[in-house]
Structure 1
Amino acid sequence: MYDRMQELNTENLEKIHAASMNLLKNTGVAFNDDEALEIFKQNGHRVEGTTVFFEESDIKKALESAPKRFTVHARNPEKNVEIGEDDFVFVPGYGAPFVIDAQGDQRQATMEDYDKFCKLVQTSKYINMNGWMMVEPADMPHDTVHLDLNLSNMLLCDKPFMGSPVSRQGALDGIEMAGILWGGKENIMNKTVSVSLINSLSPLQFSDEMVGALIELVRHGQACVVASLIMAGGSGPVTLDGVLALQNAEILAGITLAQLVKPGAPVVYGSTSSAMDMKTGALSIGAPELSKNIHYVGQIARYYGLPSRAGGGLTDALFTDAQAGAESALALSTAVRSGINFMLHSCGILGSYIAMNFEKFIVDEEICGMVQNMIKPLALTDDSIDLDIIKEVGIGGQYLTHPKTFKLCRTEFYTPGLMSRMNSDSWVKAGKQRIDQVAEDKVTQRLASYAKPDIDPEIEKKLIQYVEDRKKG
């Protein structure tokens, strides 16, 4: 297979691995959680204060027990997804405190915005898994908002969803609610029904919130993406080479803890590290360095036999414009072509994670469909080549009116739902709409067509009651 992007050879991969092993053995990783430190001690790790040290044998043992692929179960079994090896999922944006509206104005996100994104996920042909905290609602109490996000995920969409890793208690709440949804916690202990994002705190740390959430999620059979987001030149080395070694050490340390808690726990190797803009000091996720990192992350994850996570439709742009389209398409297509299995932020993100945008959700979604079509392999059979038709039409003939063209014209090619293929006259007559304007209309149409998926009324009642009881304390 030929690709102009660098394919890491065995020597390259072993070099990165050796550098990470050196860091893990001699510098260590800080875990700011007492239970995690006790777990490491009980398994023979050297622990000094909050710093844990790793031998290569510890990492190897963890990698041997981590699965190469796993199923995430939806409450609608027809929408279960597979993660790992050749299977991948598109997941919406994550963690944005703001919404940028169709006019480019930024405002604080609300719970209504979150619910709208759940509805867009439910009605999407290409986004096959719901996210978590697509936006952070400013109109809800911070301490309990995770309960409302879980409830919306479970009631408004019947696709698989991400879990709530905001804290140990947040993770437990998500587990309790998933238990209600599946008729008892015992029914999910060995059945993955959520995937949660556990981020390191670079360089070489994990916060108590993340570690506590990881332990509880893994203990209860739920999958975790262990991820590192390093700003090259800020929270990590200025060279991408050094970033790969540092983030690898952090990710492997987190995966090792997961396997110590529950051998065989489903985990995903993840990163969206990129460059720090040296003029502003801000993270740039529209940079080519992000796409390079995506490409390497996929290769390193395969080297370890793990599913991978990297970014999707990522941009620094603050409007759904040409910059947003170019940067997002580059990152998303690189992720798909590089074998990434869990594509978080596939749609909706603007401004280096600062905001979500409904119109960009629709545009990014279309890119997801186009990329899916791009990687669809040719059949290359006698029937698909069909020499008889080529000979029949012969020299100088035409295929437009041939019966096979009529038979396949609606299914053979990708048909865009958003991108314009009109000629100039038609475009002028249609009002000269830019793609963001067309997307704005599509958002309205999609939300109007939304129908809440069926759910057992007793289960819905129990979920709502759980949230109400927890809010009362």
Structure 2
Amino acid sequence: MEDNLAAGQEAGGGRRGRGERGGAAARRAARSGGGPGQSLTYIRRKIRVYEVLDEEGLALIEKNADRVLEEIGIEFRDDAEALALWKEAGADVKGQRVHFPRGLPRSLLKTAPSSFTQHSRNPERSVRIGGDATVFAPVYGPPFVRDLDGNRRYATIEDFRNFVKLAYMAPAIHHSGGTLCEPVDVPVNKRHLDMVYAHMRYSDKPFMGSVTAPERAEDTVAMAKILFGETFVDENTVVINLINANSPMVFDETMLGAAKVYARANQATIVTPFILSGAMSPVTVAGTLTQVLAEVLAGAAFTQLVRPGAPVLFGTFASSISMQSGAPTFGTPEPSLVSYGAAQLARRLGLPFRTGGSLCASKIPDAQAAYESANTLNSTLLAGTNFVLHAAGWLEGGLASCYEKFMMDIDQLGMQQKFAEGVDLSENGQAMDAIRQVGPGSHYLGCDHTQANFQTAFYRSNIADNNSFEQWQAEGEKTAPQRANELARRWLESYEAPAIDPGIDEELRSFIARKKASMPDAFT
């Protein structure tokens, strides 16, 4: 499963403290890659989505998915309540396998919102999920890190906090994410408390909750109620959560238990088939899309049985595999086609869509990592993805979170945000005054329009070196990963935590202490 493997902000509410982020600073950040403390709002895409399926193709896949649901069915394992809910809704339940009358999942999903706001404790950081919005969230799930000293090792809680801090400081990361790495130095049954607290304390961006056990999901909701207030949580989305299908065509008791907790609390779930095509789905794009749609329909509709109106996303994580070794491969054409097609299917269902990120199989932040990540990220944005997990830091097929890759990806996210703004057709964008002033045979470097726009005209990377060979040589012949390493160190050294109400912070700490004291440590 993925958890283990790899200008229209809504008004605030509850117990949140406000932050301050100037619009001018955000605009500068958009052009320059930004720096510590700057922030960009979530993306409102002004470019068209790219579609790979026509009406006939979409209808065919939908028809085939309906056949899978009706004739083959989906297993809901070891959860009697889930099976009872499906039986009461009119499904044919045979043992742990549920067969769905044609149209039943779609009819249930009519109550699911097509878009919603996930609120953060700083209202200016709240994000819209759905429609033309795109939200970038960091890497999720790796047990290893590649640290700033070049070591590949198991992740610690200090690494986790560092990645939360970097994500908080990154302008084009709009979301704090979830399991940025798996802190193995903290007991398995208690680490979720430290991770959720890190998101709440070291960032004021929205965050994800724990899904590794239903009781850990309950702890996440309880902590959210301390942070936001109980009534606010019941009436608004403040946490989003990853619910993986155990592909092919199975939902297990852990994921179902967490999904029930969050749906009942009116919190968002991302129902995501975890697909390695050829192992967990057919080798073809159309076959994979059929299975993905069937699994999402079953899982997303289940959240509406639990609580009609609970926010739910159409998720997909699709990778191809090497047919020689069986290892996952990334940045290849077929998963991009799956993402494009799944995004179209999600829009037809009226659900927000999640996929993609900066995915690669490389073991270090090298050319392979860059090419594969760029291929994945470009298709993610062009598909019209609403929630982008793994947008920064992913390495080694999701087994490692890398500090240097994190910083390099942040730079690329800033470029994607600028690209998503589309073409400026305002009077300034048309630049007719500049063309008239310069005339034939001259240059634009000194004209009034250039002077007025030079600071914000083009995106400026904070990783790439565009100087002369001689200057690059004089400055130490540094590679992109070396510059990223230095940048990460500077950011962490300059980090300042966002303010939090001391009373709320103390209440959170007391809750964590009580929970930890109530059970012995467990590392398995």
TM-score higher than 0.5 here? yes
Deviation at 1:260, TM superposition (A): 1.2
Q: Deviation per CA, 1:403-438, whole angstroms, max 9, x where unpaired?
A: 221111001211212211111111101111000000
Indicate whether 1:86 and 2:132 are aligned. yes
Q: Deviation per CA, 1:243-302, whole angstroms, max 9, x where unpaired?
A: 110111111100110111111111110111121211211222343322222222211111
> Which residue among 337, 348, 351 is the counterpart of 2:382?
337
Conserved 8 A contact 1:104-1:318: no
Conserved 8 A contact 2:434-2:448: no
**2:182 aligned partner:** 136
**2:107 aligned partner:** 61
Cα 1:106–1:55 change in 2 (3 A) is same
Return the letter of the residue paired with 2:72: T
The worse-fitting range, judged by mean Cα deviation, of 173-182 and 239-248 is: 239-248
**1:349 aligned partner:** 394
Distance 1:171 1:281 in 2: 33
Distance 2:169 2:47 in 1: 37
Higher relative contact order (CA 8 A, sep 6+): 2
Distance 1:2 1:241 in 2: 26
Conserved 8 A contact 1:104-1:319: no
SS in 2 for 1:273: strand
Conserved 8 A contact 1:228-1:251: yes
Matches within 5 A, 1:38-57: 38-57=84-103
SS in 1 for 2:153: strand
Conserved 8 A contact 1:274-1:283: yes
**1:169 aligned partner:** 215
**2:57 aligned partner:** 12
SS in 1 for 2:514: helix
Deviation at 1:398, TM superposition (A): 1.5
Distance 1:6 1:264 in 2: 28
Distance 2:487 2:232 in 1: 39
Conserved 8 A contact 1:102-1:436: no
Return the letter of the residue paired with 2:180: M
**2:41 aligned partner:** none
Percentage identity across aligned positions? 37
> Which residue among 356, 361, 373 is the counterpart of 1:316?
361
Cα 1:376–1:10 change in 2 (3 A) is same
Matches within 5 A, 1:148-227: 148-183=194-229, 185-227=230-272
Deviation at 1:3, TM superposition (A): 9.6
SS in 1 for 2:226: helix
Conserved 8 A contact 2:353-2:386: yes
**2:337 aligned partner:** 292
Runs of 4+ aligned structure 1 residues displaced above 6 Å come to 1-5
Indicate whether 1:366 and 2:411 are aligned. yes
Conserved 8 A contact 2:358-2:390: yes
Distance 2:379 2:155 in 1: 30
Report how many aligned residue pairs link the two structures: 472
> Which residue among 378, 387, 398 is the counterpart of 2:432?
387
SS in 2 for 1:352: helix
Deviation at 1:389, TM superposition (A): 2.9
SS in 2 for 1:125: coil
Conserved 8 A contact 1:96-1:356: yes
**2:515 aligned partner:** 470
TM-score (norm 2): 0.88
Return the letter of the residue paired with 1:224: T
Conserved 8 A contact 2:395-2:402: yes
Return the letter of the residue paired with 2:210: S
SS in 1 for 2:320: strand
SS in 2 for 1:274: strand
SS in 1 for 2:129: strand
The worse-fitting range, judged by mean Cα deviation, of 373-382 and 154-163 is: 373-382
CA RMSD of aligned residues (A): 1.6
Deviation at 1:459, TM superposition (A): 0.7
Distance 1:451 1:101 in 2: 21
Conserved 8 A contact 2:106-2:297: no
SS in 2 for 1:19: helix
TM-score (norm 1): 0.97
Distance 1:61 1:4 in 2: 26
Q: Deviation per CA, 1:437-470, whole angstroms, max 9, x where unpaired?
A: 0000001000011111111111111111111111
Cα 1:3–1:87 change in 2 (3 A) is closer
Q: Deviation per CA, 1:123-157, whole angstroms, max 9, x where unpaired?
A: 11010101111111110101111111111111111
**1:401 aligned partner:** 446
Indicate whether 1:74 and 2:120 are aligned. yes
Conserved 8 A contact 2:50-2:382: no
The worse-fitting range, judged by mean Cα deviation, of 382-391 and 300-309 is: 382-391
Conserved 8 A contact 2:433-2:449: no
**1:27 aligned partner:** 72
**1:415 aligned partner:** 460
User: 5+ residue gaps in structure 1?
Assistant: none
Cα 1:34–1:442 change in 2 (3 A) is same
Distance 2:120 2:107 in 1: 31
Indicate whether 1:123 and 2:169 are aligned. yes
Conserved 8 A contact 2:48-2:382: no
Indicate whether 1:442 and 2:512 are aligned. no
Distance 1:372 1:147 in 2: 33
**1:114 aligned partner:** 160
**2:10 aligned partner:** none
Conserved 8 A contact 1:272-1:293: no
**1:428 aligned partner:** 473
Q: Deviation per CA, 1:361-408, whole angstroms, max 9, x where unpaired?
A: 000011101111122122223442233431231110121111221111
Q: Deviation per CA, 1:189-222, whole angstroms, max 9, x where unpaired?
A: 1210011000000110011000000011010010
SS in 1 for 2:355: strand
Indicate whether 1:304 and 2:338 are aligned. no
